[in-house]
Each structure stands twice: as structure tokens, then as C-alpha cells.
Amino acid sequence: MEFNKVLNDCKIYEAGKPIELVVREYGVDEKDIIKLASNENPYGTSPDVTKKIQTLAQNMFVYPDDSMYELKEALSSKFSVHSENVIIGAGSDQILDFVIKAKCDENSKMLMSKTTFAMYEIYGRQTGAKILKTVDDEHNLEQFEAMYKEHGADIIFLCLPNNPLGECLDKEEVYNFLSKIDKNTLVVVDGAYQEYASFKNTKKAISPSDLIEQFPNTIYLGTFSKAYALGGMRTGYGIAQKNIIKTMYKLRPPFNITTLSLAACIEALKDEEFVNKCIAKNFEQMKRYEEYAKNKGFSYIESYTNFITIKFDNKYISSEVAQQLLQRGIIVRDLTGYGVNAIRITIGTNVQNTRVFKVLDTVFEELDKEENL
């Protein structure tokens, strides 16, 4: 059977491996498995969120509020924008899907960093758009600018901070770059980890309201999946000028956010203190990974997120390290598929990380032994 030919160039997204798979394939006891592959917040949500969900369990026969009035109000008040500037999606992934389809067809071009969030390219290819990537793995705005001048672009993606590497551009650099971009080019500012970046260094902080006011050709993306610990609820949002939001609405399926997801996000926004405590713990624990890497002589990318990317250069092969960890119940992300010899580890809790370091020691011993055979 023949299918839409643009799909020939499309790759299937590969998610972090779920705990159930490691139980099935490696026979590791479920309680011994540590999942540090999808950048979830390991401390979970505020207990108020759980309570709220329990009270709603009786109500599931009713369709959700498709206007999403309450969550939009909460987000617009948090970010000082109007609710007409907000669109909510099943993860910010769905916002990416909307925005790319709203802007691109087979004659379009998309510009992004070489090693960045995989879904930009995947959704882009679904439209038949041409994908342009910089040479450097990490965001390099000089390269972005040169390629933009040479080829032009319908959409530019800036992942601030960048997943899967962790680096983050300063707001000043970003604004300077944006001032050189044509009004008909849409710039997507993906702020999936902005809560972490702005906590660590205020120079990295991007205010969505200021961004879209100064640069009406931008859209800011946020998510409840990372700092807000609601990955299972699949909720994210886009903030942009009304004309952009209105166009994206044409692509939105009805009732794209469930009643439980809406309620969980509204509740989570009421307890910012909880989220901030999680972020503080994240950076305390991240220091341990930096120390560990230094002691072992590995380089790492300074991270403004809840994960750290450790490079093995020519010391080890990242896929082997990841596989050895997996067999011992620790799930991390191997970046070989991105062309980088590194693993990305989500920062876990104190107890989890202690175990990770122990198992990593065993893995490196094992790999050294194999090498000497």
C-alpha cells in the first residue's frame, strides 16, 4: 500500500524506556528500578494535586470544559498575558504539532540546532518541510544567523535550555538574535525547562509576556511535564500574539485536554512553593553528578535543567554504558542516536543518585575488564 510520501522521511519517536519493560526484559525487581530517562521531577506533585484528582474520580462521564477557562485564567495571570494569548495542548508536544502545521508545507524550511529536541524534526517532516541544522551540537547563534541569511527559514527553534544537552543561551543574546529575524519567520522558544534555568541564573530567564510583546513573531512553549511533575497528565501550553493562537486553534482536536489533567494543572499552579523546593533540591543533587564526572575524568555540559549530559569522549561507548546500566535497573538516555557519545541522566532523589553512582562504578569496572581481556 502507498502512503503519504512525506512519511518516507519520518522517524518514529523513541521515548525513554518504561519501568515495565525493564522488569519484563531483564527480570529486575520493580522496586530496584530507577528511571532517570525522561526528565521527570522525581519528587512528584504537591499532595494537593493528588487529593484533587481523587475527588474528581466520580465525574469522569462528563466531557471536560473545552474552553479550558480556569486553566487559561491561571496561566494568563501567572504570565501576565490575556487568555486570548494562551493555547493549551496535550503536552507542549501538541502545541509544537499545531504551530508547525500552521506555518509549514513542503515548500517550507525549518532551522534548528544540530542536537536538540527530536520532535521539531519529526513534526516538521510530517509537513514535508526541509530541515536545516547548525554544525555545532549546542546552540550557536552565529551559525543560526549565517544559515538564516543564506537559506531563510519559516520557523526557527530555540530550545532554552536545550534538551538533550542542557545548555542555555542568555536572554540578551536571544533578544539580539531575534531583532535580526524577519517578521514572517516564526520563532519557537521552547521553555520546557525554563523554571530550572531561571532559578539557577536570572540571565537565562525569558518572560513570555515581554518576549511576545517585543517580538510578535515568537511563540513561547511551556509544559507541566517537567518541573510541575505532571508528565502523566500530558499538558503544556503556548503563549503568543492572538493572531498566532487563533490560527493554531483551527488545528486543535476537540476536548484535547482531559478533565483530570485540567484540574491537576490548576491545582499544581497554586503550590509554586512545592515546585521551587523541588528545583532547589535538583541543583543540590546535580552538584554530586558534576563531582562524580570530574573524579572520573569525564566532561559534562553545564546544565540549566533537571538532567546532566556526561560525555565519554574516547574513554567508553555511551550505548554500552547505557545498556549495562539498564541490565542493573537504571534507565538513562543514550545519545548515540543524536550522534553524540554521551548519556543524559535525569537528576534523581538523593537516595536514587547514591545508587546510580554505585552502579556506575560497577559498570565502568566491568567495561574496563572487558577491554583488558
Ligand X SMILES: *Cc1c(COP(=O)(O)O)cnc(C)c1O
For the chain, what is the total number of helices (H) and then of strands (E)? 14, 13
Beta-carbon contacts of residue 26 (< 8 Å; ≥ 6 apart) = 326, 327, 329
The residues in 123-152 that bind ligand X, with binding defined as CB under 6 A, are: none
Kindly state the smallest distance separating residue 223's Cβ from ligand X, in Å. 3
Output 236 or 329, the one with its CB closest to ligand X: 236
Calculate ∠ Cα 121-126-128, nearest 5°.
90
User: 74: left (phi > 0), else alpha (psi -120 to 50), else beta?
Assistant: alpha
| 127's grid cell | 509537513
Instruction: Based on the shown chain and the rule CB under 6 A, indicate whether residue 189 belongs to the binding site for ligand X.
Output: no
CB nearer to ligand X: pick between 89 and 329:
89
DSSP state of 154: S
SS3 call for 355: helix
Taking CB under 6 A as the binding criterion, the range among 9-17, 90-98, 165-173, 278-286 that sits at the site for ligand X is 90-98
Q: Counting contacts by CB under 6 A, is residue 225 touching ligand X?
A: yes
**Cis geometry, peptide bond prior to residue 161 (ω within 30 degrees of 0):** yes
Does 231 help bind ligand X (rule: CB under 6 A)? Answer: yes
CA pair distance 226, 229, nearest whole angstrom: 5
Q: How far is the CB of 271 from ligand X (least distance, A)?
A: 19
* Footprint (CB under 6 A) of ligand X, residues 154-183: 159, 163
**CB of 285: closest distance to ligand X in angstroms?**
19
Among 236, 238, 329, 348, binds ligand X (CB under 6 A): 236
Q: Which of 117, 196, 215, 300 binds ligand X (CB under 6 A)?
A: 117
From 89-97, 144-152, 266-274, 334-342, span contacting ligand X (CB under 6 A): 89-97
The residue among 124 and 236 lying less far from ligand X, judged by its C-beta, is 236
Which one among 134, 198, 223, 324 touches ligand X, defined by CB under 6 A? 223
Chosen residue from 28, 35, 72, 93 binding ligand X by CB under 6 A: 93
Q: 69 burial class (0-12, 13-18, 19+ CB within 10 angstroms)?
A: exposed
Interface size with ligand X, residues (CB under 6 A): 13
Element (H, E) at 112: strand 109-112
| CA–CA gap between residue 48 and residue 258 (Å, rounded) | 18
**Quick check: 190 binds ligand X (CB under 6 A)?**
yes
Name which of 159 and 310 has its Cβ closer to ligand X.
Answer: 159
- Of the pair 168, 360, the CB lying nearest ligand X is at 168
Residue nearest to ligand X (CB): 91
Task: For 130-146, give the DSSP string.
Answer: EEEE-SSSS--HHHHHH
The total number of residues written for the chain in this structure: 373
Q: Does 92 bind ligand X (CB under 6 A)?
A: yes
The HSE-up count of residue 249 (CA atoms within 13 Å, CB side) is: 15
Which positions touch ligand X (CB under 6 A)?
A: 91-93, 117, 159, 163, 190, 192, 223, 225-226, 231, 236
